[in-house]
Amino acid sequence: MCVADTARDVSGNAHCKSKEAEIKRINKELANIRSKFKGDKALDGYSKKKYVCKLLFIFLLGHDIDFGHMEAVNLLSSNRYTEKQIGYLFISVLVNSNSELIRLINNAIKNDLASRNPTFMGLALHCIANVGSREMAEAFAGEIPKILVAGDTMDSVKQSAALCLLRLYRTSPDLVPMGDWTSRVVHLLNDQHLGVVTAATSLITTLAQKNPEEFKTSVSLAVSRLSRIVTSASTDLQDYTYYFVPAPWLSVKLLRLLQCYPPPDPAVRGRLTECLETILNKAQEPPKSKKVQHSNAKNAVLFEAISLIIHHDSEPNLLVRACNQLGQFLQHRETNLRYLALESMCTLASSEFSHEAVKTHIETVINALKTERDVSVRQRAVDLLYAMCDRSNAQQIVAEMLNYLETADYSIREEIVLKVAILAEKYAVDYTWYVDTILNLIRIAGDYVSEEVWYRVIQIVINRDDVQGYAAKTVFEALQAPACHENLVKVGGYILGEFGNLIAGDPRSSPLIQFNLLHSKFHLCSVPTRALLLSTYIKFVNLFPEIKTTIQDVLRSDSQLKNADVELQQRAVEYLRLSTIASTDILATVLEEMPPFPERESSILAKLKKKKGPSTVTDLEETKKERSADMNGGTEPAPVNASAVSTPSPSADLLGLGTGPPPNAAPAPASSGSLLVDVFSEPASAVTQLAPGSQENFASPDLASSELVSEEPSEAARGADELTHKFVCKNNGVLFENQLLQIGLKSEFRQNLGRMFIFYGNKTSTQFLTFTPTLICSDELQSNLNLQTKPVDPTVDGGAQVQQVVNIECISDFTEAPVLNIQFRYGGTFQNVSVKLPITLNKFFQPTEMASQDFFQRWKQLSNPQQEVQNIFKAKHPMDPEITKAKIIGFGSALLEEVDPNPANFVGAGIIHTRTAQIGCLLRLEPNLQAQMYRLTLRTSKETVSQRLCELLSEQF
């Protein structure tokens, strides 16, 4: 056999003594083959095949191959079967999808598909299914359905055609048009040939997920097919019976297909229930064979049936039977079954019908946690405990998890820590238990306690005054330990800084003792923790005036004032100065207790979701969707940021930083620990830094953690329209943020012109390559809005930020928003982000002040029905008149006071500037507090303008 020979030729090197010798020999061989291919003498088919085969072999040994594709294409165009076969194999294994060759390959495939020779057709279909590129989908997606449903197609070709189409649909769903063929494909479920049914079921399942309506007739067909299989005697299906189990692969696939649909109509449903019961009954029968293949195949069908039962979640009887079955498996001697039972029970725990039944297995699961030798099984046990936890068993489960944590594998510690933290918070009746649990977490696994966890405990303590005294006492005691984790010092520093006064009455924890205790840890800590402690000290100055001089002495010492770290030095200098010059009143205001944090989804939960989140293997597009879906669902729509509303003028600094928010509001907007802060903030004044946790302490480039303290990033990845709405009344902020990239905006508008600064921040430590932002405007938008910009540097270094300026001119009024598309390469993968740029018509407003008389005169002039647009809508936010005023000003019009006879109403006036026209606009907003409704009326000289402005402004209240 030629292939074996050539392989042996090359593989002398497989036995080579050293790696170097092997590489040397391979390189020699590659040079030889290259010269043969390039040589003057044309190679005959046989030699070509031989060398292509050698290349394949070398590739499979793990070496890179970058030539030979052309020769392989020649081979697959050959009429000789052996050459064709090797040509196809080479292309299937080594194709590079960008290659020009695809066109040549497609040509050869086309010929083979048309050849009516089933073997050649098979090879061609296999090749399409293996490569599955978009070019192939373009060429064959129309052709293959025809082959699939043609009456005279051989069974084996039908099977290949079905799966080939499936692969093309996965890569390019848009190129596979649904049509008449779909109903004929559904009927393949009735085919005599079980191989055809197997292949067709896979195809139908995938298609039905995206086109359920088109394939819904498959449900009854699948049920009857399944019913015939599960009731057949084990010999009926001949070669499709696998170790006494009738057609296990097909059964699993049919059950999977049924999971694309809700429970069927009663008639079909009865039959399906019978099938499922039969499968459950069979599990109780004695095995027909001792072979593991028998039990695996049987249980594969059983687990899939249980998945379907859980998916339908409608038959309490079946759910409980499923739960009992899984309960048996929990103690099975096969590790694989124990693993799967734990996994399946996790989903069962979320059904209201079976939650209680699952809980009865708690002791077994806890035991698994203690005795299983395989970490992946223990991991499943942790997951199941987490899933079955509720108020009734939370204390027990949390205690067991903490126990396990002491000896848990390093690989899963962080996840357990997150889970414990979440359960403790979720089911805490008594918050002292919560505080104890978290401090225990830090004690047992301090290194695995991420920032999110200790931020969260602080948030909760600050928000709940019933636990503050206990927390202060507990951290004080925990800090007595000679060696305590740095995370404990952070929590301790923060909590004592806020609530140390609550325990200062006890002489054992007097102010001086508290201070000395914290300061004894100071020199052991990292810079961020020291910075936090310095803030605690200045908070102490306010809480405990009696130790002010002690603290000042510490701040004044050379190790602080001349510290090499700029941040520490600055804090020491500023705090020392503050403590010296500020009056007690000012100190009390500046260093006041932190205001409660806004309630929102726990940042720990977000972190857990992220940990479990998608990775690089899945399709990028999918990943992106999932990620943004996660964020949309994950965070509550944050209330409109007060500072953002109150400073809507175009000159306001981004994030309200430059204007210096009032001291007691310091933590909220100032501490968005994100890249943008570095650029826009002037060195923050001492005032904005004073809360122990603000700025640097909380600052981290990580999204989840910055979310804890800042409004902006959490809002970033919202639906595009919502995003545009967010920017209607303000000009600056974070437009988009994901794990890799942050996009910030700063813009200003004057008459019909505007300028927008777009800041792209690379949040990773890796370079972005071929970074290309593009502005996309539809033709219509282009004629109304003129955007000009220069390309940016295609390389963005890790941690760096680049800026792009867009000059904007409004030519005529417009409705759409331009789209900003960003493409770049990050670590080998291609990234693509599209967001709408919030350039809206109201940006070109100039406010006009006028008296009541003038207003109503003009109002009457604009009484033509086309000029008025009115909208009545429900309030989406609390109806606060001050916020409403701020929004109207932010919208761009003047707010006219004492114009409307009803003081509760708001009226505004302004002119929209475009190059071609100036359009006068009047607006009136009438709130109705009882009904929680608004009526908004817009009158302008142009219908489209009234319409658009009304749409934009309606979304704001």
**Under rule CB under 8 A, which residues in 76-95 are in contact with another protein?**
80-83, 85-86, 89, 92-93
Q: Minimum Å distance from CB 46 to another protein?
A: 6
540 interacts with another protein by CB under 8 A: no
Q: Closest CB to another protein among 133 and 695?
A: 133
Q: Is 308 in the site for another protein (CB under 8 A)?
A: no
CB-CB neighbours of 92 under 10 Å: 17
Smallest distance from the beta carbon of 514 to another protein, in angstroms? 45
Candidates 348-356, 368-376, 632-640, 737-745; binding stretch for another protein (CB under 8 A): 368-376
Question: Total binding residues for another protein by CB under 8 A?
Answer: 92
- Residue 306 as a binder of another protein (CB under 8 A): the answer is no
741 neighbors 627 (Cβ within 8 angstroms): no
Per the annotation, does 404 bind a ligand? no
Nearest CB to another protein, comparing residues 53 and 496? 53
> Residue 567 is inside which H or E element, if any?
helix 566-581
**Rounded Cα gap, residues 650 and 630, in angstroms:** 33
Note whether 129 binds another protein by CB under 8 A. yes
CA proximity to 90, closest of 3, 24, 183, 166: 3
Which stretch, 117-125, 275-283, 568-576, 756-764, contacts another protein (CB under 8 A)?
A: 117-125
Within 186-245, the residues that bind another protein by CB under 8 A are: 194-195, 198-199, 202, 239-240, 242
The tokens for 169 are 């649909």
As a whole number of angstroms, the distance between CA 109 and CA 140 comes to 9
Residue 810 and residue 914 in contact, taking contact as beta carbons nearer than 8 Å: yes
Residue found by looking up tokens 């919502």 in the block:
722
Candidates 185, 178, 270, 181; CA nearest to 220 is: 270
Question: Is 419 among the annotated ligand-binding positions?
Answer: no
Based on the shown chain and the rule CB under 8 A, indicate whether residue 8 belongs to the binding site for another protein: yes
Nearest to 704 by CA among 602, 607, 800: 607
575 is in an annotated binding site: no
483 counts as binding another protein under rule CB under 8 A: no
Which 614-673 positions form the footprint of another protein (CB under 8 A)?
614-619
Within 40-79, the residues that bind another protein by CB under 8 A are: 44-46, 50, 53, 56-57, 60, 62, 64
Q: Which of 217, 360, 376, 905 binds another protein (CB under 8 A)?
A: 376
Strand, coil or helix: what is 359? helix
Q: What angle do CA 194, 196, 198 make, to 5 degrees?
A: 70
Residue 53 assigned ligand-binding role: yes
- Residues with Cβ < 8 Å from 835, sequence gap 6 or more? 720, 723, 735, 736, 743, 819, 820
Nearer to another protein, 122 or 656 (CB): 122
Binds another protein (CB under 8 A): choice among 68, 248, 511, 761: 248
Distance CA 164, CA 171 (A): 11
Nearer to another protein, 202 or 635 (CB): 202
Rounded least distance, CB 323 to another protein, Å: 19
Closest approach, Cβ 422 to another protein, in A, equals 19
Residues between 800 and 829 that touch another protein (CB under 8 A): 828-829
Residue with smaller CB distance to another protein, 44 or 682: 44
| Coil vs helix vs strand at 337 | helix
14 contacts another protein (rule: CB under 8 A): yes
Q: Which is nearer to another protein, 126 or 216 (CB)?
A: 126
289 near another protein, rule: CB under 8 A: no
Return the number of the residue (303 or 749) whose C-beta is nearest another protein: 303
756 binds another protein (CB under 8 A): no
Binding segment for another protein (CB under 8 A), chosen from 371-379, 713-721, 785-793, 932-940, is: 371-379
Measured between alpha carbons, how far is 793 from 805 in angstroms, rounded to an integer? 13
For helices 45-60 and 69-76, angle between their N-to-C axes, nearest 10 degrees: 130
- d(CA 452, CA 606) in angstroms, rounded, equals 9
Nearer to another protein, 482 or 828 (CB): 828
For another protein, the binding residue among 136, 221, 223, 247 (CB under 8 A) is 247
Residue among 299 and 536 whose Cβ is closer to another protein: 299
* 54 marked among binding-site residues: yes
Give the count of beta carbons closer than 10 Å to the beta carbon of residue 796: 22
Q: How far apart are CA 914 and CA 752, in angstroms?
A: 5
Tokens for 841, please give them: 């018509």
Is 28 within any annotated ligand binding site?
Answer: no
Minimum Å gap between C-beta 180 and another protein is 23
Q: Is 768 in the site for another protein (CB under 8 A)?
A: no
Q: Residues 15, 38, 290, 373: which binds another protein (CB under 8 A)?
A: 373
For residue 621, how many other CB atoms are within 10 A of its CB?
Answer: 9
Return the DSSP state at 526: -
35: Cβ contacts below 8 Å, ≥ 6 apart: none
CB of 774 to another protein, least distance (A): 24
DSSP state of 251: H
704-743 mask for another protein (x: CB under 8 A)?
----------------------------------------
d(CA 896, CA 579): 45
Which of 140, 215, 303, 957 touches another protein by CB under 8 A?
303
Nearest CA among 408, 348, 353, 354 for reference residue 382: 408
Please give the Cα distance from 221 to 481 (Å, whole number): 69
Considering the complex, what minimum distance in angstroms separates the CB of residue 271 from another protein?
22
Site string for another protein, 249-268 (x = CB under 8 A): xx-xx--x--x---------
Interface with another protein, residue 325, by CB under 8 A? no
CA distance 808 to 750: 10
Nearer to another protein, 46 or 873 (CB): 46
DSSP string over 741-796: EEEEEEEEEETTEEEEEEEEEE-SSS-EEEEEEEEE--HHHHHHEEEEE-PPPS-B
Q: How many CB atoms lie within 10 A of CB 528?
A: 18
Asked whether 737 and 672 are in contact (CB, 8 A), the reply is: no
Q: Which stretch binds another protein (CB under 8 A): 121-129, 511-519, 563-571, 703-711?
A: 121-129
Q: How far is the CB of 125 from another protein (least distance, A)?
A: 8
* Footprint (CB under 8 A) of another protein, residues 847-906: none
**Could you tell me the smallest distance in angstroms from the CB atom of residue 202 to another protein?**
4
Instruction: By CB under 8 A, tell whether 9 contacts another protein.
Output: yes
Q: How many helices, marked H, and strands, marked E, lie in the chain?
A: 46, 16
Which of 1, 429, 564, 566 touches another protein by CB under 8 A? Answer: 1
Residues 138-177 that bind another protein (CB under 8 A): 156, 159-160, 163-164, 166-167, 170-171
Give the CA-trace dihedral at 467, 471, 473, 477, to 10 degrees. 150
* Interior angle at CA 819, CA 817 and CA 825, nearest 5: 165
819 annotated as belonging to a binding site for a ligand: no
- CA dist 186 → 190, 257, 531 (Å): 8, 12, 67
Of the candidate spans 127-135, 853-861, 901-909, 931-939, the one that interacts with another protein by CB under 8 A turns out to be 127-135
Smallest separation, CB 534 to another protein (Å): 42
Shortest distance (Å) from residue 606 CB to another protein: 17
Residues between 564 and 623 that touch another protein (CB under 8 A): 612-619
Angle at 395 between CA 393 and CA 398, to 5 degrees: 105
Q: Are strands 906-913 and 894-896 parallel, antiparallel or unpaired?
A: antiparallel
Q: Using the rule CB under 8 A, is 695 a contact of another protein?
A: no
Pairwise CA distance, residues 537 & 532, whole Å: 9
Q: How far is the CB of 224 from another protein (least distance, A)?
A: 20
SS3 (DSSP) at 591: coil
Residues marked as binding? 36, 46, 50-54
